[in-house]
Amino acid sequence: MFKILMQNMHGKVRLTFFLAPLVMLIEVFCDLQQPTMMADIVDSGLAKGDMQFVIKTAALMLMFALIGICAGGGSGVLGNYASLHMGQSLRTKMLTIALNSRAAGGLPPATLITRITNDVTQMQNLVMMMTRGMVRAPMLMLGGVVMSTLVSPRLAPILFVILPVLLVYTLLVMRRSLPFYTDMQGKTDDMNRVMRENLQGAKTIKAFVLEDHQQAQFSETNNALLNSSVRAAMAAVPLAPVIQFLLNLGVVIALAYGGSLDVGGVILDGQIIAFINYMIQITNAMVMTVNIITAFSRAITSATRVQAVLSEQVGEVRVGSAAGAPQDSSVTFDHVSFGYDQSKPILDDISFAVPSGQWLGIIGTTGSGKSTLINLLTRGFDDYTGTIKIGGVDTQQLDLAAVHHKVTVATQDAMLFSGTVRHNLTFGDKVATDAELAAGAHLADADEFIDPLPKRYDAPVEQGGKNFSGGQRQRLNIARAAVPDPDILVFDDATSAVDQTTNARIQQRLVQHRRGRTTLIISQRVANLLQCDQILVMQEGRLSARGTHEELLASSPFYAQLVETQLGGGRSDASDESRS
């Protein structure tokens, strides 16, 4: 963990990290002087009637108080500087890794996001703690013990008995209550889940008249949560009164014992007062220390999670030797296999060839490896066996940029970025003209809803494209892939959420724009593949059949059945009609 911190703090930042606790020590030192000086005023000033001494000591106390303020605030500034800049550097590193990782597997996006946001914030807090609280609390405690021993050595044994008892007791209570808190968290999650189900499933609940069933379930989880949270809270309830009592007990003993010594002239009033003040200070510091330990253990968990991201394999990107992308736009897969796990390949010995300018369709069940095929073509993963060629050149010989210039993909997941429509459509071609944007939008049938927007291409896109419907997001996604007018265009199940009519229109426009240019269409809908020169049928990572629509109707029972369910009994005459 310390390593992560050091790797993200250099130069000025690292200096402030070490300087902050030192400055903090000055504040602690100043704080610790106050009770002793007060004892001096009482014992030396008042007892001897020395006004001069009282004023001198008071001036000194004032000075210490002011220095304390400056040192405390100063160390805060230094600590903040270190922690915020550490966080800045850590976030940049983590995001760079997240964006460049091309290895298979890896952390899911939701986890990665939490780690880059929340866990980094936790790490920032950790730095603040390390530079401030973790220094301040123990030093106040330690300093308090030292100072009180110095001021009144005869009373110190009281501290040595009460403090360890307090410390052990506090830790015991904490250890006992921790599992209760974990349990409570679990119960809270349960309760939230039932509630969420009720909101999301409102229509289902009404349709099947499940109100009473849900009510019973909620009462059960609500009661479980009630019992669990009472148990957790009760475990910590004795802590405050016990600490308070032991502290008061210490004061009483100090009074009684100190009083008896005082009578003998061994100890002075001021010393008893100072001792009691130190004891209060020490107990406060102790409570603070306990809180910090809890916070610290939480931060450590975050550090482990951050470390996991930092040690993700980014995967070397092999730089190609070929100068640029080939002119030719054929695609060839030659005995390509791929899998995260050797025994369960995701793609198993795939071979096919698409001549330049032809259309290829791919159909198959979910998880049959269709999208992975495209991922390999665009070099999302490099650790496959076999050869993939574009225009006769092994893609491994090409620059990533060259591949991505040659091939664009309308992805399955229509991810939009906040900004403007233009920002999203120019991802593949930063200098696209309005005419080029319009051509892409036309292909995707997105012009229909972009054109009426008041600002057209400069209309805002909210986070996740929330201000567009699911179907519109998919159409923008298609437009993004079409704007660069690529040599090879891939549709990865890109129209799954658009309605039939729009889907049909997109198919028409696709024919209009892409006839005679290499186009790959992955779809679950047979109707979308009717225009393809060749269709691949994939099942469980293998190519189970290939051919034209008519050939497959005869050769692949699986394909024939798909056509039957999707297009209904009358499909052959219907398609004959339209094809003729």
Partner 1 sequence: MQVMNRGPRHNLHQEKVQVTDWKKTTRRILGYIGFARGKLLIVFGLTIFTTAATIIGNRVNGIVVDQFLKASKLHLLYVICLVLGVMYLLSAVFTYFQNSVTVKVAQKASADIRGDIFSNLQRLPMRYFDTHDNGDVMSRLTNDVDNINTAMMQTFVQLFTGIVSVVGMGAAMLVLSPLLTLIALAASGLTYLFTRAAAKVTQKAFMTQQEALGALNTQIEESVSGKQVVQLFDHEADTMATFNQTNARYTHAAFIAQSVSSFIGPVNNGTNNLAYLAITAAGAISMLTGSSTITVGIIFTFLIYLRNFTGPINNVLNLINTLQLSLASAERVFEVIDEQPEQDLPGAVTVKTTTGHVEFEHIDFAYEPGRQILHDINLVAEPGQTIALVGATGAGKTTIMNLLTNLYPLQTGRVLLDGRDVTTIRRADLRHLITVVQQEPYMFQLSIRENIRLGRASASDDDVVLAAQRAHADGFIRQLKDGYDTVLSENAHNISQGQRQLLSIARAFIAEAPVLVLDEATASIDSNTEADVQRAMTGLMKGKTSFVIAHRLSTIRHADQILVIDAGRVVERGTHESLLKQNGAYAALYNSQFDQQ
Which 68-127 residues touch partner 1, going by CB under 8 A?
68-73, 76-77, 79-81, 84-85, 87-88, 91-92, 95-96, 98-100, 102, 109, 112-113, 116-117
Q: Which residues of 257-272 are buried (b: 16+ CB within 10 A; e: fewer)?
A: bbeebeeeeebbebbb
Binding residue for partner 1 (CB under 8 A) from 130, 135, 155, 272? 272
User: Distance (Å, rounded) from C-alpha 298 to C-alpha 16?
Assistant: 24
What is the three-class DSSP state of 265? Answer: coil
Q: Is 350 in the site for partner 1 (CB under 8 A)?
A: no
Binding mask 446-465 for partner 1 (x = CB under 8 A): -----------------xx-
User: Distance (Å, rounded) from C-alpha 10 to C-alpha 5?
Assistant: 10
Q: What is the CA radius of gyration of the chain?
A: 36
Binding residue for partner 1 (CB under 8 A) from 428, 478, 488, 536? 428
Q: Is 387 in the site for partner 1 (CB under 8 A)?
A: no
Binding residue for partner 1 (CB under 8 A) from 271, 302, 356, 531? 531
CA distances from 223 to 87, 179, 212 (A): 41, 19, 16
Tell me how far, at minimum, the Cβ of 330 lies from partner 1, in Å: 20
Q: Is 431 in the site for partner 1 (CB under 8 A)?
A: no
Question: What's the full length of the chain, in residues?
Answer: 580
Binding residue for partner 1 (CB under 8 A) from 409, 521, 535, 543? 409
Tell me how far, at minimum, the Cβ of 343 lies from partner 1, in Å: 18
Token pair listed for 95:
């995001």
Q: Is 66 in the site for partner 1 (CB under 8 A)?
A: yes
Binding residue for partner 1 (CB under 8 A) from 332, 395, 518, 523? 523
Q: With CB under 8 A, what is the number of residues at the site for partner 1?
A: 166
Tell me how far, at minimum, the Cβ of 201 lies from partner 1, in Å: 4
Place of tokens 């909210």: 462
Give the footprint of partner 1 on residues 477-506 (CB under 8 A): 480, 493, 496-497, 499-501, 504-505
Q: Is 512 in the site for partner 1 (CB under 8 A)?
A: no
**Comparison of 354 and 526: residue with beta carbon closer to partner 1:** 526
- Which DSSP letter does residue 378 get? T
CA distances from 511 to 286, 407, 444 (A): 76, 18, 12
Measure the CA dihedral 484/537/554/579, to 10°.
-20
**Comparison of 61 and 292: residue with beta carbon closer to partner 1:** 61
Token pair listed for 502:
């729009």
Q: Is 578 in the site for partner 1 (CB under 8 A)?
A: yes
Closest-CA residue to 67 (of 25, 27, 16):
27
Q: Is 207 in the site for partner 1 (CB under 8 A)?
A: yes
Q: What are phi and psi of 353, to 5 degrees?
A: -140, 135
Which of the ranges 227-235, 290-298, 382-390, 547-555 carries the binding residues for partner 1, by CB under 8 A?
227-235
Which of the ranges 142-150, 170-178, 280-288, 322-330 carries the binding residues for partner 1, by CB under 8 A?
280-288
Binding mask 24-63 for partner 1 (x = CB under 8 A): ---x---x--x---x--xx--xx--x-x--xx--x--xx-
Amino acid identity, position 503:
N
Tell me how far, at minimum, the Cβ of 140 lies from partner 1, in Å: 11
Question: CB-based burial of residue 132 (10 Å sphere; 0-12 exposed, 13-18 middle, 19+ buried)?
Answer: buried
What is the three-class DSSP state of 50? Answer: coil
